Amino acid sequence: MDDQHIVTSFDEELKDLTDGLVSLGGLAQLALRNVEQSLRMNDHNLAKQTIEADKQINALQVSLEDLTFNILAKRQPMANDLRLVFSAVKVSLYLERIGDMCKGVCKRIIKGDLLNAKSPNTIDALVNLTKDVQQSLDLVLEDYAQGKADHALDVWRSDIKIDSSYANILTAILNDIKEKPEAIEALVPLFFIARYLERIGDQATNIAEVAHFIVTGEKLGDDRKMKVEDETVF
Amino acid sequence: MNKNFSKRHKAESRFKAYGFFSLIAAATMLAIIIGSMIYRSIPAYTNYTIDLEINMTEISLEDGIDDINYRGILRSSLFSFFPEVQSRSDKRKLFKLISSSATYTLRDFVRENPSYIGKKFYFNVLFTDDSDLFYKGYVDISLPEDERRLDNKEITWLNQLDGTGRVKNKISRNLFLNGDSREPEVAGFWGATIGSLITITVTLLLSFPIGVLTAIYLENFAVKNRITDFIEVNINNLAAVPSIIFGLLGLAVFINFFGMPRSVPLVGGLVLSLMTLPTIIIATRSSLQSVPPSIREAALAMGASEMQVVFQHLLPSAMPGIFTGTIIGLARAFGESAPLLLIGMVAFIVDIPATFTDPATALPVQIYIWADSPERAFVAKTSAATLILISLLILINLAAVLLRKRYEVKW
Amino acid sequence: MDKELENNNIIENKALIECKNVDVFYANQQALFGINLNIGEKEVTSLIGPSGCGKSTFLRCINRMNDVIDICRVEGSIKISNEDIYHPDIDVVELRSRIGMVFQKPNPFPKSVYDNVAYGPKLHGRILHKDDLDEKVEKSLERAGLWSEVKDRLSEPGTSLSGGQQQRLCIARAIAIDPSIILMDEPCSALDPIATAKIEELIDELKDNFTITIVTHSMQQAARVSQRTAFFHLGKLIEVGDTEKIFRSPDHEQTEAYVTGRYG
C-alpha cells in the first residue's frame, strides 16, 4: 500500500478509514483497560465512566460505516482495496462489540458487589484473563494499523489459552457456588463477566483473521473458525 | 485583462468585416461580368425581318423546283417598294440590305411546300446584320458617312421600308438552331453545343471507368513501393499540367501517330479524358479514403474478400465524392478550348455533327471563333454563346450537387 | 510466475482457442511477447490492461484481422478447435466467417437494418430462400435483444438507430453468420450506461451458445461479464485466472496495482 492511487482523494478516504479504525481500536483498548482496573480495584466510578464511554464507540462505528458505504458507492474498490474496505466494516463491528462487552462487564461490576462473592482467587483469575485478552487485542490492533499479519497466528494460538482459562474459571465458580450457595447472587455475575471476556478474546481472534485476509487474500483455517463458533453458541 | 478581451473582440469583428467585404467585392465582380454579358448579348436574340410579297403566279411545277430563279423573285419583290431605284449599282446595294440567306430559305420553303407554286404569298426574310443593327439603334447616324457601315442612301431605304409596316423584330431561331456561318444573322451555336456534348460524352465514357479503376487499384490493391509512389506523384503532377500540353500530346499521338481524323469529337474526347483523368483519380482516391475504416473492418471481419469490400462497401459510400470529382473534371473539360484548337476542332463547320467522327467544334471554341470575327454583330453572339456555356456549366454543377445529395451517406 | 501462469491456463478439456508463444511485430517493433493463453469454450474471457498493452492486437490475431496491416507479422501458434489458423492452407475469408467481431465504435453498414443482418448469410451464400433469410434476420435480431425495437423499422438505415441499438445491430450482424466465437473490441466504450447494461446483459445470454472474448477498459465490466480475465501489460500476459480471483486477490503485484487504480 506504499504506492499511491492515481486518484489522491481515494487514498485520503482510505486513510480516513484506517485512521478511524485505529482510534476506534484505541477506544476499545481503553475500555478494556478500564475493565481490568475496575475488576481489580472494584472501582464502580470507573465502571460507570466506561459504560458512558461506550456511546462514543458506537457513534464512531456508525460514522466509519458511513465512510465505507461512500467508498463502496463512489470508488468501486478492487483487490486489496476491496479487501481493506470490506474488512473495515467487519473490524469496526468487532470493535463495537468489544465495547458492548466491556459495557456488559462494567454493568455486572456495578450490579453486584465483587467483594460479596468472597472469592479473591476467581477475581484474580478474571483479572489475568482480562490481561491476556488485552494483550491479544493490542497485538492485533498493532498488526491492523501497520497493514501486517505478523501476530495473527500468535493471537490465534493465545485464544486457545484464553479458552482454557475461561473453562477453568467456570469450574472454579461452579465449585464456589456448590461450597457457598448463599453467595450465589454475587457469583453469577462473575460467570457472566468471564463469558464476556472470553468473547472479547474471540473478537480479537476475528480481527486477527481479518488482518491476515487483508494482507494475503486468504482466510485462516476454517476448522479453527468452526470451533470458535461452536463455543460461542452456548 | 479587460483590455486584452476588448482587443480580441475588435480583432474578431474586423476579421468578419474583411470577409464580408471580400464577399461583396467578389459578388459585385460576378454581377458586373454576368450583367454586362447579358446586356451585350441582347441584340443577338432577335433579328429584324421583312415580309416580302412573293409572286409565283407565272411559275409552274414543270419548271423544276431547283431551277426557279428565287433570287430574281426576291429582287423584284424588294424593288417593287422602290420604283425610283434604277441604276444597277443601287439595285445591288438595295438587295444587299436583306440577308443573302434569303434565297436559300425561300428555296427550302418552296421545296417543302410545293403547293405555293403558282400562288402569291408573303414570305418572311431576314435583314443582314448591318440593317438589323441599324433598326436596333446601334448605328450612329451622327458619324460621317464614310465611317459608317451604312451610307445615307441605305439608311433612307431602310427608313422607307420601316414605313411600310412590313418590318418586324422576331426571335432569332437561327441563333439556337444553326451551326456556324459567315453571316452573323444566320450563325448559331447549336452545332457547337452538340459538338461539345458528343466530345464530353466520349470523355466521360473513357475517363470515368479508367479513373475510378485506377484509383481503386492504387488505393486498395497496389503494393506501396517506389514505383507506386512515383506513379502517384506523376498523377498529382498531371492535374496541374496546362491543358494546351494535352492538346499537343493529342496532336502528336492520336492524329499524327495513329492517324485519326482531325476536327472530330472522338479525338477531342480522347484528349480531354487525358486531362480529366488525374482529377477523377485524385477525387476518387480521396473519397475512398474518407470512407470510415470501421466499415472496411466490419466487412472484412464478416468474411468479405478485398474485392467485395471495395464493390459492396467502399465504392457505394464513396460514390457521391466520385460523382462530384468527375463532374468537376468534366465541367473543366467542357469549358476547355486550348487543346481542341490544336487538334483542329477550330475549323469552320456549318453542319451539325451527329456522330463521334463528324467534324465538329465545341462551345468554347465557337466563342473563340466569334470573338475573333470582325463583324459587329458577332459581339452580341459571343456574349450569348458565353451565357449559354455558363448556363450549361451551372446545370452540370447542379447535377453534381443533386447527385451528391441523392447518394450521400450519413455516418 | 511462469509456473503460476501455466497453472492458471489449464482449463480442463474446455479450451477452444489455444495460443502458444504468440509474438506479434509491427515492422521491427514487437507488440506482443510470447503470449500463452487458452480461451475456454462457451464462456466469456475478458482482456484488460492499460492502453497500448497489446490486448486489441491479441484479439485481432484470433480472426487474423492483423493480416490487413502489411507490416504486421504474427509468430507462434494459435489453434481453434485444434486447427492452426495461421497454417498456409487456412482460408482467411472462411476463418472469419466462423468468427464474429464487434468493434469499439458501432459500425453498421450504411444499409437498412434488414440488409445489415442479412449481409453475412448472403455473403457466404448459406441462405438462398427469402423466407429463410427473413427468419434468420428475425432470429438474429431477437438473440441480440433488438427485434422488438426494430421490427417495424427493418427498412430504415442501420445508421438511424441510437448508439446502443447500432451496437446490438452489429452483434446481430455478427451472430447471423452462426460463428462459434465472438470477439468484442471495447464494445461499450462509446455507449451510455443504460446501453452498456443492455449489451452486458446480452453478453451474459450469448455465452451459453458462443465463446466470447472481450477487450474492455472498464474493469467493472470485465468483473461483471466475464468468467475469466487476462491482464496484459506492455505486450506481455501478466496474469490470467478466474475473474473473481483477479479482482479479489490477484497473484501478481502489477495486476493488483492496475485493478485497484494505482497505475495504468
Distance (Å) from the alpha carbon of A4 to chain C's nearest alpha carbon: 6
Ordered strands of the C236-242 beta sheet: C99-102, C181-185, C211-215, C44-48, C228-233, C236-242
Q: Mean pLDDT for chain A? A: 85
Q: How far is CA A140 from CA A211, B329, C203, in A?
A: 8, 85, 45
Ordered strands of the B167-171 beta sheet: B120-126, B46-55, B167-171
One of 3.30.9.10, 1.10.3720.10, 3.40.50.1100, 3.90.1300.10 is the CATH number of B190-407, namely 1.10.3720.10
Residue ranges making up the domain that contains A194: 8-233
Note the pTM of the prediction, 2 decimals.
0.76
Residue A120 pLDDT? 79
What is the DSSP-derived secondary structure letter of residue B260? P
Find out whether B159 and B167 touch, Cβ atoms under 8 Å.
Answer: no
Looking at the domain assignment, is residue C131 inside a domain?
no
Give CA–CA dist B129/B142, Å, rounded.
Answer: 20
Q: Which chains touch C (3 or more CB pairs under 8 A)?
A: A, B
Q: Cβ of B51: how many Cβ atoms within 10 Å?
A: 16
Distance (Å) from the alpha carbon of C259 to chain A's nearest alpha carbon: 6
| Cell numbers 475500555: residue | A31
Residue C147 pLDDT? 92
Grid cell locating C102: 464487434
* Residue among C103, C107, C124 minimizing CB distance to B303: C124
Q: What is the DSSP string of B36-89?
A: HHHHHHGGGSEEEEEEEEEE-TT--GGG-GGGS-HHHHHHHHHHTT-TT--SHH
Residue C67 pLDDT? 84
What is the DSSP-derived secondary structure letter of residue B251? I
Q: Cβ of A62: how many Cβ atoms within 10 Å?
A: 12
> Which CATH number covers residue A162?
1.20.58.220
Chain B residues 125-144 within an 8 A CB cutoff of chain C: none
Give CA–CA dist B54/B76, Å, rounded.
Answer: 9
Residue B411 pLDDT? 56
- Alpha carbon B346 to its chain's center: 13
Identity of the amino acid at C239? E
Distance (Å) from the alpha carbon of C159 to chain B's nearest alpha carbon: 6
CB contact under 8 A, C261 and A80: no
CB contact under 8 A, C260 and A218: no
Identity of the amino acid at A93? L
Which SS3 state, helix, strand or coil, does residue A225 take?
A: helix
> Is the CB of B13 inside 8 Å of chain C's CB atoms?
no
Find out whether C185 and C215 touch, Cβ atoms under 8 Å.
Answer: yes
Looking at the domain assignment, is residue A1 inside a domain?
no
Which SS3 state, helix, strand or coil, does residue C38 take?
A: strand
Find out whether B233 and B217 touch, Cβ atoms under 8 Å.
Answer: no
| Residue among B180, B152, B167 at smallest CA distance from B263 | B180
By CA distance, what is A213's nearest residue in C?
C249
Grid cell locating B319: 460514390
Give CA–CA dist A194/C255, Å, rounded.
Answer: 47
Q: pLDDT at residue A232 above 50?
A: no
∠B257-B258-B263 over CA atoms, to 5°? 100
| Cell numbers 485464544: residue | A159
Residue B61 pLDDT? 76
- For chains A and C, CB pairs below 8 A equal 43
Cβ neighbours of residue B205 closer than 8 Å, sequence gap 6 or more: B269
> Is the CB of B303 inside 8 Å of chain C's CB atoms?
yes
Torsion of CA C159, C163, C168, C170, to 10 degrees: 50
- The stretch A152-162 carries a mean pLDDT of 85
Looking at the domain assignment, is residue A3 inside a domain?
no
- For chains B and C, CB pairs below 8 A equal 62
By CA distance, what is A79's nearest residue in C?
C248
Select the residue from C59, C119, C181 to test the B interface by mutation, using most B Cβ atoms within 10 A: C119
CB contact under 8 A, C259 and A79: yes
CB contact under 8 A, B300 and C109: no
Distance (Å) from the alpha carbon of B36 to chain C's nearest alpha carbon: 48
Partners of C112 in the β-ladder: C157
* A40-54, A63-77, B52-66, B234-248, range with the lowest pLDDT: B52-66
Which chain A residues have a beta carbon less than 8 Å from that of C254? none
- The stretch C198-208 carries a mean pLDDT of 91
Domain segments of chain B as ranges? 2-42, 46-171, 190-407
- pLDDT (tens digit per residue) in C132-174: 999 999 999 998 889 999 989 999 999 899 989 999 999 999 9
Chain C residues 161-220 within an 8 A CB cutoff of chain A: 219-220
CB contact under 8 A, C250 and A79: yes
Which SS3 state, helix, strand or coil, does residue C156 take?
A: coil
Find out whether A119 and A190 touch, Cβ atoms under 8 Å.
Answer: yes
Residue ranges making up the domain that contains C43: 1-92+213-264
Chain B residues 212-231 within an 8 A CB cutoff of chain C: 224
Phi and psi at residue B164, to the nearest 5°: -75, -15
Phi and psi at residue C237, to the nearest 5°: -85, 110
By CA distance, what is C222's nearest residue in A?
A78
> Domains in chain C: how many in total?
1
Label residue B195 exposed, middle or buried (CB < 10 Å: 0-12, 13-18, 19+): buried
Give CA–CA dist B406/B393, Å, rounded.
Answer: 20
Helices marked H in C37-155 — which ranges?
55-62, 92-96, 113-123, 130-143, 147-150
> Is the CB of B304 inside 8 Å of chain C's CB atoms?
yes
Give CA–CA dist C8/C36, Å, rounded.
Answer: 11
Looking at the domain assignment, is residue C43 inside a domain?
yes
Q: Cβ of A218: how many Cβ atoms within 10 Å?
A: 9
Interface of C with B (CB under 8 A): 63, 65, 68, 70, 93-97, 99-101, 103, 105, 107-110, 119-120, 123-124, 157, 159, 170, 173-174, 177
| Cell numbers 453545343: residue | B193
CB contact under 8 A, B298 and C65: no
> Is the CB of C234 inside 8 Å of chain A's CB atoms?
no
Find out whether A210 and A87 touch, Cβ atoms under 8 Å.
Answer: yes
- pLDDT (tens digit per residue) in A170-213: 998 888 888 888 888 888 888 889 999 999 999 999 988 888 88
CB contact under 8 A, C159 and B297: no
Q: pLDDT at residue C4 above 50?
A: no
Give CA–CA dist C144/C153, Å, rounded.
Answer: 16
> Domains in chain A: how many in total?
1
Looking at the domain assignment, is residue C176 inside a domain?
no
* Residue among C103, C119, C123 minimizing CB distance to B294: C103
Residue A227 pLDDT? 46
Q: What is the DSSP string of B349-377?
A: --SPP-STTS----HHHHHHHHHH---TH
Residue C30 pLDDT? 92
Q: pLDDT at residue A64 above 80?
A: yes
Find out whether B54 and B123 touch, Cβ atoms under 8 Å.
Answer: yes
Give CA–CA dist A58/B68, Å, rounded.
Answer: 133
Residue C19 pLDDT? 92
CB contact under 8 A, C220 and A76: yes
What is the DSSP-derived secondary structure letter of residue A4? P
For β-strands C44-48 and B167-171, DSSP reports them as unpaired
Residue C1 pLDDT? 42
Distance (Å) from the alpha carbon of A212 to chain C's nearest alpha carbon: 13
CB contact under 8 A, B304 and C93: yes
- The stretch A63-69 carries a mean pLDDT of 92
Residue A228 pLDDT? 45
- pLDDT (tens digit per residue) in A100-147: 999 999 998 888 777 777 777 888 888 899 999 999 999 988 888 888
Residue C13 pLDDT? 54
By CA distance, what is B297's nearest residue in C?
C65
Length of chain B: 411
Which SS3 state, helix, strand or coil, does residue A198 take?
A: helix
Task: Give the pLDDT of chain B (411 residues) as one tens digit per residue.
Answer: 678 899 999 999 999 999 999 999 999 999 999 999 999 999 999 999 999 988 888 887 777 778 888 899 999 999 988 888 888 999 998 999 999 899 999 999 988 988 888 888 999 999 999 999 999 988 888 888 888 888 888 999 999 998 888 899 999 888 899 888 888 889 999 999 999 999 999 999 999 999 999 999 998 888 888 998 999 899 999 888 999 999 999 999 999 999 999 889 999 999 999 999 999 999 999 999 999 888 999 999 998 988 999 999 999 889 988 998 999 899 999 999 999 999 988 888 888 899 888 999 999 999 999 999 888 889 999 999 999 999 999 998 898 888 888 887 665
Q: How far is CA B281 from CA B213, B215, B405, C137, in A?
A: 8, 5, 21, 38
| Residue among B211, B213, B268 at smallest CA distance from B243 | B268
